[in-house]
Amino acid sequence: MTTSDIDDSVGAELNRLRESIDNIDAAVVHMLAERFKCTQQVGHLKAAHQLPPADPARESRQIARLRQLAESAHLDPAFAEKLLNFIVAEVIRHHERIADESAANGAGE
């Protein structure tokens, strides 16, 4: 069966739900963009003060916090942790790049 074979009312409900999903996806992308703007600022601050790109203690606290939030929201905490780990890995990669660029710019002075 394809979506063209379903009842009109079911199709309308499916479209309504999919539009909601599309809106949520857009909000998630915009929220991630805002998060990365903040983490870029953190990266520049860390580079300016020769702080390491990663902060394992903070990451552990964030994972515990996010797992609790996920449980409260009835979201699989393991999934939430995987998502945060993915995001944090990207943030660290950005921080390393910022630190490298900062060091290269400082070496030329």
Mean pLDDT of the chain: 94
Q: What is the mean pLDDT of residues 12-27?
A: 97
- ∠ at Cα 57 (49, 46), nearest 5°? 15
Determine what percent of the chain is predicted with pLDDT higher than 70: 94
6: pLDDT strictly greater than 90: no
Q: In whole angstroms, what is the distance from residue 96 CA to residue 88 CA? A: 12
Residue 74 region, left (φ>0) first, then alpha (ψ -120 to 50), else beta?
left
State the alpha helices, DSSP H only, in 1-109: 8-48, 56-72, 77-107
pLDDT of residue 106: 79
Are residues 94 and 43 in contact, defined by beta-carbon separation less than 8 angstroms?
yes
Report field, pTM of the whole predicted structure over 0.85: no
Q: How confident is the model at residue 107 (pLDDT cuts 50, 70, 90)?
A: low
Q: How confident is the model at residue 5 (pLDDT cuts 50, 70, 90)?
A: confident
The one-letter code for the residue type at 61 is R
The one-letter code for the residue type at 30 is H
